[in-house]
Amino acid sequence: MPFVWGITVAILGGLATDLGPWYQALKEPFWKPPDAAFGPIWSTIFILSGMAWYGAKHFTSDPKVLSRLTILFWLNGFLNLLWSILYFRFQRPDWSLYEAVFLWLSVLAILLTIRKLSTRYSLYMLPYLIWVTIAIALNWDTVRLNGPFT
């Protein structure tokens, strides 16, 4: 299940991402990483997240905990995809900024749930939490530099 989740979210997120003329015309903050860095960063995050989920599952046989992990990961995947749709397809970085807070909270919830099972595997979620924090700052600067959006 963890690897199906990672592959599904990565593929759907990639399909929802449109780097066409609208995106190219956006003013970007000076500190934004190059577009080519996003694929490897997200790939690494999904691999580590899948490893965290897979590893944490071996520390419990409690169906409630396993169900909670599954729900949290699929909710996180939905929120990850929704961010891409709001930002790229609807061309609404302002809406995606609000949504990113829920994405961040979902990553934190996963990290804290896994931490109860294994500190080691919870640390695999830390790059995801850090990256979404950076993405929120980047999203904020993009809205600031380009808004208002209609």
pLDDT in tens, 71-103: 999 999 999 999 999 999 999 999 999 999 999
pLDDT at 121 (0 to 100) = 97
pLDDT classification of 8: cutoffs 50, 70, 90: confident
User: How long, in residues, is the chain?
Assistant: 150
pLDDT at 10 (0 to 100) = 87
User: What pLDDT digit, counting tens, does each position of 129-150 carry?
Assistant: 999 999 999 999 999 999 999 8
Amino acid identity of residue 109, one-letter, is A
Do 148 and 82 form a contact (C-beta atoms < 8 A)?
no
pTM: 0.93
pLDDT at 150 (0 to 100) = 85
Token duo for residue 101 = 């807070």
